[in-house]
């Protein structure tokens, strides 16, 4: 992005075209077009959609998916997948409510509870990365296992019931507002900003793209694949932890189902935004658009009074359509 802006217009134009022709250019902007068209259609069908109150609601319900999807984006850019979203989130939420003021024990660690929650989730991510690189377990299986380890552990610690979060400061993340938006929205935006910096302005971001684009070449260029993978999964765990904290603050409690459906939402957002499942293409900007598409669509369907089951079906259709429309699948030799 930035590099194009820095150049004189003529070079910018040239590099733009050299990015491989009209088809790809069209595709790169397709998700944004879909988002705009979607907003217009919903606004026509039900003008309540563009009321400030509703837009704030959309932003608020996008906060947790956006934070989650930031983590997921890095993993998918690597060409891997992280299924441990729901496990990591529920562990973070569990750690948070049990260490902060709650109705089940006498702990009162305040903001330390938040740090501990995010740290716990980050450690789970690092563990996934470690399993994958050291024991050579494919990310699909490693994170599937970590998902259930995390979920089982957190439900056990909660004693199978819901524990209420009673720390007012932490609850304020969901309840108090700044410039009209709940703090959770601002935190999600901060997470997005951090992700942008990581992807476009740091070495690790560059190396994640390189591994997604061609692991063997990356290795020959002296990149430590193991290190990059472990850090990427740790990073994903960090974002999942932040999302877990936000979800617990919004809900005011932690329970067994706090993370239900979050994996699907995160993967859908990343894919709908145009990040390739094969890795190396796309990024967190795409994911922002993807999250908004998913959230706006869900909001619109509620406004239009569509049955929740049909809503699910539509989301399923959307993820398949997104993959179908994306990129050069026909150049892929083998589909597994």
Partner 1 sequence: MFAANGISKSFVGTHALKNVDIEIRPNEVVGLIGENGAGKSTLMRILAGTHRPDSGTLTLDGQPLRLRNARDAAGHGIGMVFQEQSLLLNMTVAENIYLGQEHQFTRFGILNWRAMNDASRRQLAKIGVDIDVTARASGLTFAARQMVELAKALTLEESVDRPLVILLDEPTSVLSASDIDVLFARVKSLKSRASFVFVSHRLEEVLRISDRVYTMKDGAVVAEHRSQDVTAPALHEIMVGRGLHTEHYKESKQSVPRSEVIVEASKLGVAGAFHDVSFKIHAGEIIGIAGVVGSGREEITRTIGGFLPQTEGALRIKDASVRFTSPEQAVRKSIGYIPRERRVEGLVMFLSVAENITLADLSCVMRGGAINYKEERKLAVDWIKKLRIKTPGPDAACRKLSGGNQQKVVLARWMTAGSQILILDHPTRGLDVGAKEEVYDLVRDLSAQGIAILLISDTLDETIGLSHRVLVMRDGEVTAEFDASRGNKPDQVELLREMV
Pair 252, 30: CB distance under 8 Å:
no
Count of CB atoms situated within 10 Å of the CB of 256 = 17
Nearest to 38 by CA among 282, 271, 301: 301
User: Between residues 156 and 227, which has the closer beta carbon with respect to partner 1?
Assistant: 227
User: Between residues 80 and 154, which has the closer beta carbon with respect to partner 1?
Assistant: 80
Burial of 23 (0-12, 13-18, 19+ CB in 10 A): exposed
User: Between residues 110 and 214, which has the closer beta carbon with respect to partner 1?
Assistant: 214
**Given the rule CB under 8 A, which residues bind partner 1?**
2-4, 6-7, 11, 14-15, 17-20, 197, 201-203, 206, 209-210, 212-214, 217-223, 280-281
Minimum distance between the CB of residue 327 and partner 1, rounded to whole angstroms?
A: 11
Pair 293, 38: CB distance under 8 Å:
yes
Minimum distance between the CB of residue 143 and partner 1, rounded to whole angstroms?
A: 24
Minimum distance between the CB of residue 177 and partner 1, rounded to whole angstroms?
A: 32
CA distances from 1 to 52, 136, 188, 211, 258 (A): 30, 35, 22, 21, 37
Minimum distance between the CB of residue 302 and partner 1, rounded to whole angstroms?
A: 38
Q: How far apart are CA 336 and CA 334, in angstroms?
A: 6
Nearest to 247 by CA among 77, 115, 71, 67: 67
Minimum distance between the CB of residue 25 and partner 1, rounded to whole angstroms?
A: 11
User: Between residues 46 and 278, which has the closer beta carbon with respect to partner 1?
Assistant: 278
CA distances from 332 to 260, 277, 320, 335 (A): 33, 12, 17, 7
User: Between residues 2 and 336, which has the closer beta carbon with respect to partner 1?
Assistant: 2
């Amino acid at each position: 992005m930035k590099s194009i802006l820095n150049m004189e217009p003529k070079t910018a134009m040239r590099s733009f075209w050299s990015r491989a022709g009209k088809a790809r250019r069209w595709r790169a902007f397709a998700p944004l077009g879909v988002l705009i068209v979607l907003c217009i259609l919903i606004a026509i069908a039900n003008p309540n959609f563009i009321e400030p109150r509703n837009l704030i609601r959309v932003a608020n319900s996008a906060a947790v998916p956006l934070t989650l999807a930031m983590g997921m984006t890095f993993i998918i850019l690597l060409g891997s997948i992280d299924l441990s979203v729901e496990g990591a989130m529920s562990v973070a939420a569990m750690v948070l409510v049990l260490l902060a003021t709650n109705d089940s024990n006498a702990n009162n660690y305040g903001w330390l509870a938040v740090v501990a929650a995010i740290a716990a989730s980050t450690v789970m991510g690092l563990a996934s990365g470690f399993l994958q690189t050291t024991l050579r377990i494919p990310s699909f299986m490693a994170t599937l296992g970590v998902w259930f380890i995390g979920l089982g552990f957190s439900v056990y610690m909660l004693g199978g019931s819901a524990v209420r979060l009673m720390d007012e400061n932490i609850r304020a993340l969901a309840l108090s507002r700044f410039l009209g938006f709940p703090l959770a929205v601002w935190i999600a935006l901060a997470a997005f900003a951090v992700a942008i910096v990581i992807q476009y302005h740091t070495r690790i971001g560059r190396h994640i793209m390189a591994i997604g684009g061609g692991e063997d070449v990356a290795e020959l260029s002296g990149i430590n694949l193991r290190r990059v993978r472990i850090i990427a999964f740790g990073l994903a765990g960090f974002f999942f932890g932040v999302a877990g904290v936000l979800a617990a603050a919004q809900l005011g409690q932690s329970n067994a189902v706090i993370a239900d459906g979050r994996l699907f939402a995160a993967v859908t957002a990343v894919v709908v935004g145009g990040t390739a499942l094969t890795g190396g293409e796309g990024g967190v900007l795409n994911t922002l658009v993807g999250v908004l598409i998913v959230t706006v669509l869900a909001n619109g369907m509620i406004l239009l009074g569509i049955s929740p089951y049909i809503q699910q079906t539509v989301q399923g259709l959307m993820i398949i359509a997104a993959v179908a429309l994306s990129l050069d699948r026909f150049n892929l030799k083998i589909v597994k």
